[in-house]
Amino acid sequence: NNLLKVCNALGIFKYSSDQRSLGFASNAQSEIIGDRASAMVRPEPCDLIVTKQNAQDVEYEAWEKDHPSALRSFEGMMSIAKGKKIIMFLDYDGTLSPIVDDPELAFMSDTMRSAVREVARNCPTAIISGRSRDKVYEFVQLNDVYYAGSHGMDIMAPPRRHKSGDTKYQRRAVDKKGNEVIIFQPAQEFLPEILEIFNELEEETKVIEGVTVEDNRFCVSVHFRRAKQEDYSLVEKKVLSVLGRHSRFHLTRGRKVLEIRPSIKWNKGNALEYLLETLGFAESSDVLPIYIGDDVTDEDAFKVIQKRGQGFPILVSRKPKVTMASYSLQDPSEVLSFLLRLARWRRN
């Protein structure tokens, strides 16, 4: 039945009862046999054959109707944004840089860096990543954006008091340009145990080829993209064995990565809200946040924007996914195109 649906969507059907190929129907290929009209489609070398890729394309097109391309929807989105203050939030891996086998080599292009710089000149811009804040800065190398690492558990924000008045998680510091900033770290108490977890994971996984353990300061990632597929279950077993010794932590899953994080009520959505507040836009009705991200941890930020009822959550994905995002982009190259158009729109 699913194949028939795909065929119907593509305009494809079987051309005879004893042949297995599928092709486009055309009037020129219809023949009159005797007194009866029998539409028989003869295969041509260029006829489309239904493949797994064709089916995936059809599935993506159907999904895209509910999550339209932010590039094709750009003019409509900007008509809504007109007269509002745009605040840009960006994930890093898979959004500003491609997903690569070695996480240490996830460099963004100079063109992407220039695009982010141009956007940041006209719109307050923050990068919210699962990486450590220092690592994200090392990759991005821009001083005009705010950085939130460890899924928002390590935020560099403007020097503005958080409305809760709780200052035990924050301290004043100076950024690379000499400007005063606030460093907000709600998981400080977990740092000694996070170091223990990092060391244990390195010890447990060192026998598995292709596994990399990354210290993200307030969480620990185990990357297994370069590991053999038959070792995936062993990687998970090793990670779970370490997790079992640390009751205050939990496991999250990403794209070929397992992560052990402190069990606190703080995520990328909370980080987005914190940054909006420290930027002075928490209660503003004329602010329009845009968040672009590609992974499951970005869904928390998408939910916050949906709850606010203002803003554009954009998922980066080549595959249909269950998501709270309203719009989509297929890959970092489309993210680049979107940022360049946004920068040009803001200048004009």
Q: What is the CATH number of the domain that holds 153?
A: 3.40.50.1000
Q: How confident is the model at residue 13 (pLDDT cuts 50, 70, 90)?
A: very low
Q: Are residues 275 and 178 in the same domain?
A: yes
- Last-in-domain residue among 246, 262, 278: 262
Mean pLDDT throughout 2-7?
Answer: 50
What is residue 99's predicted lDDT score, i.e. its pLDDT? 93
Per residue in 154-195, pLDDT (tens digit) is: 999 887 655 554 577 888 888 877 888 889 999 999 999 999
- Distance in angstroms (rounded) separating the CA atoms of residues 325 and 313: 5
pTM of the model: 0.82
* Residue 91 among the catalytic residues: yes
Query: Taking 50 as the threshold, does the pLDDT of residue 28 lie above it?
Result: no
- Residue 142, in any domain of the structure: yes
pLDDT of residue 178: 83
pLDDT of 31 higher than 50: no
315 and 283 Cβ atoms separated by less than 8 Å: no
Query: Which regions of the chain does DSSP assign to beta strands (E)?
Result: 12-14, 22-24, 31-33, 36-38, 85-90, 125-128, 146-149, 154-157, 170-174, 180-184, 212-215, 220-223, 249-254, 257-262, 287-293, 312-316, 327-329
Q: Which helix (H) or strand (E) holds 136?
A: helix 133-140
pLDDT at 23 over 80: no
**162 touches 274 (CB < 8 A):** yes
pLDDT at 104: 93
**Overall number of domains in the chain:** 3
Q: Is the pLDDT of residue 19 over 60?
A: no
pLDDT, tens digit (0-9, with 9 covering 90-100), for 308-340: 999 999 999 999 999 999 999 999 999 999 999
**Within a domain: 60:** no
Distance from C-alpha of 252 to C-alpha of 108, rounded to nearest angstrom: 25
When mean pLDDT is compared across 15-19, 84-88, 242-246, the lowest value belongs to 15-19
Rounded Cα gap, residues 123 and 116, in angstroms: 10
Average pLDDT in the 17-26 region? 38
Establish if 56 belongs to a structural domain: no
170 and 87 within one domain: yes
pLDDT given at position 1? 53
Q: Kindly state the average pLDDT of the residues 234-244.
A: 98
Residue 160 is predicted with a pLDDT of 67
Domain holding 39, by residue range, is: 2-50
If asked whether residues 273 and 343 sit together in one domain, one would say yes
What's the whole-number mean pLDDT along residues 21-30?
A: 37
User: Are 238 and 283 in a shared domain?
Assistant: no
The share of the chain scoring above pLDDT 70, in percent, equals 83
Q: pLDDT value at position 187?
A: 96
pLDDT at 161: 53
Residues 165 and 282 in one domain: yes
pLDDT band at 284; cut points 50, 70, 90: confident
Q: Is residue 64 part of a domain?
A: no
pLDDT of residue 162: 52
The reply to whether 22 and 41 lie within a common domain is yes
At 52, the pLDDT band (50, 70, 90 cuts) reads low
pLDDT score at 26: 39
Domain boundary among 233, 262, 291: 262
| 55 lies in some domain | no
Distance CA 253, CA 326 (A): 23
Same domain for 218 and 180, yes or no, is no
- Residue 28 and residue 76 in one domain: no
pLDDT computed for residue 49 by the predictor: 55
For the cut 50, the answer to whether the pLDDT of residue 37 exceeds it is: no
296 and 177 assigned to the same domain: yes
Better pLDDT: 262 or 168: 262
The single residue of 18, 91, 110, 300 carrying the catalytic annotation is 91
Residue 120 falls inside a structural domain? yes
Q: How large is the average pLDDT for residues 1-8? A: 50
* Judgement on whether residues 171 and 290 belong to the same structural domain of the protein: yes
- Please report whether residue 63 resides in a domain: no
- Domain of 241, CATH number, reads 3.30.70.1020
- Average pLDDT, rounded, for the chain: 87
Q: What is the DSSP string of 237-278?
A: HHHHHHHTT-TTEEEEEETTEEEEEE-SS--HHHHHHHHHHH
Q: Pick from 208, 235, 262: which residue ends a domain? A: 262
Considering the domain architecture, whether residues 299 and 235 belong to the same structural domain is answered as no
The answer to whether residues 273 and 338 belong to one domain is: yes
Q: Is residue 169 part of a domain?
A: yes
